[in-house]
């Protein structure tokens, strides 16, 4: 009986290796040497041209720039989520007794929130790369004329 099982096991192994050997050989010789190995846990996308580098009639460039902008927004959203979670965990753990322990986390979160709002805030439903670029342009013009946003308008001197 043991001899019959031994023959069946050898037949099964021979059939298995008949199909497995070519697949394994192909994977080891062709697929793995030509694979790009990323040291990251996610795929690394190449940066596409910004909207200001696109020609006015290049629809493909506009679409790529918009997709890049939306990917960047998703990354910024996740960064804000992580910073907020860290601050909330610190505040929950330490409570109201040691407010100073979480002060640096709160400052980092507030700075990131301000930067996020500068870039994406007040865009509403029209969130796309062209509107974000125009918002950035208008902000730069305002800062050149009146100083940093939030500091109020400079008084214009009237020449007589």
Q: Which tens digits make up the pLDDT trace of 54-104?
A: 999 999 999 999 999 999 999 999 999 999 999 999 989 988 777 788 899
| More confident of the two residues 38 and 61 | 61
Domain range for 113: 59-140
Query: Above 90 in pLDDT, residue 108?
Result: yes
Q: How far apart are CA 70 and CA 25, in angstroms?
A: 41
Q: How far apart are CA 128 and CA 135, in angstroms?
A: 11
The per-residue pLDDT for 137 is 92
| CA distances for 124 relative to 75, 79, 89, 120, angstroms | 19, 21, 30, 9
In a domain, 155, yes or no: no
In a domain, 20, yes or no: no
Is there a contact between 94 and 102 (Cβ–Cβ < 8 Å)?
A: yes
Position 4 confidence tier, pLDDT thresholds 50, 70, 90: low
The two tokens of residue 112 are 């990131």
Cβ neighbours of residue 38 closer than 8 Å, sequence gap 6 or more: 44
In a domain, 130, yes or no: yes
The per-residue pLDDT for 6 is 86
Q: How far apart are CA 54 and CA 62, in angstroms?
A: 7
The per-residue pLDDT for 47 is 86
In a domain, 14, yes or no: no
In a domain, 54, yes or no: no
Half-sphere exposure of 37 (CA within 13 A, CB side): 4
Number of domains in the chain: 1
Query: Above 90 in pLDDT, residue 116?
Result: yes
Is there a contact between 120 and 73 (Cβ–Cβ < 8 Å)?
A: yes
CB atoms within 10 A of CB 86: 15
In a domain, 111, yes or no: yes
The per-residue pLDDT for 89 is 93
In a domain, 94, yes or no: yes
The per-residue pLDDT for 79 is 96
Cβ neighbours of residue 157 closer than 8 Å, sequence gap 6 or more: none
Element (DSSP H or E) covering residue 109 = helix 103-120
């Amino acid at each position: 009986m043991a001899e019959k099982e031994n023959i069946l096991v050898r037949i099964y192994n021979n059939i298995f290796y008949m199909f497995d050997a070519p697949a394994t050989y192909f994977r080891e010789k062709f697929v793995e040497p030509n694979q790009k190995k990323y040291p990251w846990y996610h795929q690394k996308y190449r940066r596409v041209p910004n909207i200001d580098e696109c020609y006015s009639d290049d629809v493909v460039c506009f679409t790529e720039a918009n997709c890049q902008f939306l990917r960047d927004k998703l990354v910024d959203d996740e960064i804000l989520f992580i910073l907020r979670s860290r601050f909330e965990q610190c505040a929950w753990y330490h409570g109201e007794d040691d407010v100073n322990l979480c002060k640096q986390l709160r400052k980092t979160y507030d700075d990131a929130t301000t930067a996020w709002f500068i870039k994406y805030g007040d865009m509403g439903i029209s969130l796309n790369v062209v509107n974000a670029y125009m918002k950035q342009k208008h902000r730069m013009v305002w800062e050149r004329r009146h100083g940093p946003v939030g500091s109020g308008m400079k008084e214009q001197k009237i020449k007589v």
